[in-house]
């Protein structure tokens, strides 16, 4: 790769843009931006549905069970139940 190709590569361009953007954001704004993207704001109904799903999850469908079995087989996962 020549120097001019490396200078114009998409990876370098993206990195440079993100670095330039980061340099323009104050430390206080960085914290606020991170916090805004980490916190989910849910309506009352969404909160109820979420908590219900956590405490009373539905039974997995056959399709999901088969997908989990394929995943475990492909990843070499050995279940403690199957030992």
- What are the structural domain ranges in the chain? 3-75
pLDDT at residue 63 in the model: 97
pLDDT > 80? residue 82: no
CB 60 within 8 A of CB 68: yes
Label residues 4-19 b or e (16+ Cβ within 10 Å = b): eeeeeeeeeeeeeeee
Q: pLDDT for 5-45, tens place per residue?
A: 555 565 556 567 778 777 788 888 888 888 888 888 899 99
Taking CA atoms, 52 is separated from 20, 30, 46, 64, 73, in Å, by: 44, 34, 10, 20, 31
pLDDT at residue 47 in the model: 96
* Mean pLDDT, the chain, whole residue set: 81
């Amino acid at each position: 790769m020549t120097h001019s190709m490396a200078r114009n590569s998409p990876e370098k361009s993206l990195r440079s843009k993100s670095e330039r953007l980061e340099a323009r954001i104050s430390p206080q704004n960085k914290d606020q931006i991170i916090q805004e993207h980490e916190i989910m704001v849910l309506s009352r109904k969404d909160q109820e549905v979420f908590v219900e799903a956590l405490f009373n999850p539905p039974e997995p469908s056959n399709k999901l069970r088969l997908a989990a079995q394929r995943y475990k087989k492909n990843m070499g996962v050995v279940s403690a139940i199957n030992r």
